[in-house]
Amino acid sequence: MFFKNIYENGLAQASYLVGCQATGDAIVIDPRRDIDIYLEIAEKENLRITHITETHIHADFLSGSRELQAVTGAKVLLSDEGGNDWQYQFDHTGLHDGDTFKVGNLKFDVIHTPGHTPEHISFLLTDTAASSKPIMIFTGDFVFVGDVGRPDLLEAAAGYKGTREIGAADMYESLKKFTALPDYVQVWAGHGAGSACGKALGAVPSSTVGYEKLVNWALQIDDKDEFIKQLLDGQPEPPKYFAMMKKLNKVGPEILGGIPHPARMNLTQFKSAVDKNIMIVDTRDKLSFAGGHVPGSLNIQDNTAFSTWAGWMLNYDEPFLLIAPEHRIEELIKKLIRIGFDNVYGYLPDMDAWANTGYELEVLDQITCSELVKKMERNNTQVIDVRGEAEFNSGNIERAENIHVGYLKENIDRLDKNKDIVVHCASGDRSSIAASYLKSIGFNNVINLTGGYSAWINECGKKSNQNELAVN
């Protein structure tokens, strides 16, 4: 048996390629949209991708099942569980609880495991050439290392009212199927630490049923009502793009036929696009952006969180420009198409050339913790903490207001244009997004707190206490 875990750090998403080396047949589980990696692995290992499957209709990334099927001709096997509202709407072979299918000598038993979503299924794998006993289970967003899938996304992100408690109750029952499995069975989940599909995912890539029974918090609670309460409590804010992912993955994503490559723009073309008010996404680091950027630009740094924050801040029906070096464009495009953003208008690789030509640059004002203390004493400052609610509740600057960066648009009326608005997060990445967004819509009184809440704790905690600006 050949086995490969393909992990994408940006979305903390795992997909799997499993092959029977005796027959050369292989299956891909939960593929992402940029499928070149699966084709490369299969070719290297002398395997044919004959089957493609998914654990559920994903909310956090755009599935590559249709893309991969178009290239390989493989059979697409998808859940037909969960009722009429939760059915895939493109051609596939349906799977139900108790079904079995084979890929060469590899046997997959289908287990319906609702909770995260009503149609969710897991796959119990047996390598029949080696043993009659199962070797691993692919749990998708059912059981993670140290956590279980959140049941509130359908309501919180996709607008399906009244599904939170139903999903939590389903999860409680589904876990009984998991704990009934042999302790030695390996657990390979759909996500790792950093995913918004749970609240306490571990960073270790795999586990076993037995170990999860010992340490997974969700498997320690016997009372159903208490389980539901704890499962729903403290879940992170779901990115806005999740609703679009649900929709597109249900009806079937558009087939790209390859990685798109946007146009490299010269300065004249870029200036023309700027004059048309096309959104600019500046992917440089926050310090470079603060030092000088095209007015109206949105700063989403080129790091592991790029996909997530693009999903929070960009619109699917509006084109946008990228500012990024040539050697990063292909990877950034992959990050974007993984969540369905196919609308890149073009890119500018060299900000120095723009600046040297004399075009206007805007700076993002910064403030230190000690300067903020003095400002707050004069009562002419509004402090906006753009972290998540759970982070804010665990400790915050007194008198700061909590507005998650992704919810600024809906809360603009809470901002006071007559005061200086100081935004901060934990260390400065999210606040740079927030500040750049606010400046792009006309808030010229925005200042970024250098180093964020971490700097406040480390540098100004004692001083702020003396000035009755204590850290809660």
The residues that are catalytic are 425
Task: Look at the block and give the residue holding tokens 């913790």.
Answer: 369
Q: Rounded to whole angstroms, how far apart are CA atoms 110 and 106? A: 13
The total of other beta-carbon atoms located within 10 Å of residue 454's CB is: 13
Task: Look at the block and give the residue holding tokens 């699917």.
Answer: 316
Structure tokens at 390: 């759970």
Structure tokens at 399: 């008198």
Q: Rounded to whole angstroms, how far apart are CA atoms 48 and 129? A: 19
Phi-psi region of 24 (alpha: psi -120 to 50; beta: other; left: phi over 0): left
- Candidates 115, 113, 111, 114; CA nearest to 134 is 111
Q: Rounded to whole angstroms, how far apart are CA atoms 278 and 276? A: 6
Q: Count CA atoms within 13 Å of residue 368 on its CB side.
A: 6
The total of other beta-carbon atoms located within 10 Å of residue 356's CB is: 10
Answer yes or no: are the C-beta atoms of 83 and 33 closer than 8 Å.
Answer: no
Burial-class residue 391 by CB neighbours within 10 Å (0-12, 13-18, 19+): middle
Task: Look at the block and give the residue holding tokens 């740079």.
Answer: 432
Answer yes or no: are the C-beta atoms of 34 and 338 closer than 8 Å.
Answer: yes
Amino acid identity of residue 139, one-letter, is T
Task: Look at the block and give the residue holding tokens 């007194």.
Answer: 398
Q: Give how far Cα 457 sits from Cα of 254, 271, 374, 424, Å.
A: 47, 42, 16, 13
Helix axes 65-72, 36-44, angle to 10 degrees: 50
Structure tokens at 260: 């798109």
Answer yes or no: are the C-beta atoms of 120 and 79 closer than 8 Å.
Answer: yes
Q: Give how far Cα 199 sits from Cα of 143, 152, 430, Å.
A: 12, 12, 19
The total of other beta-carbon atoms located within 10 Å of residue 19's CB is: 26
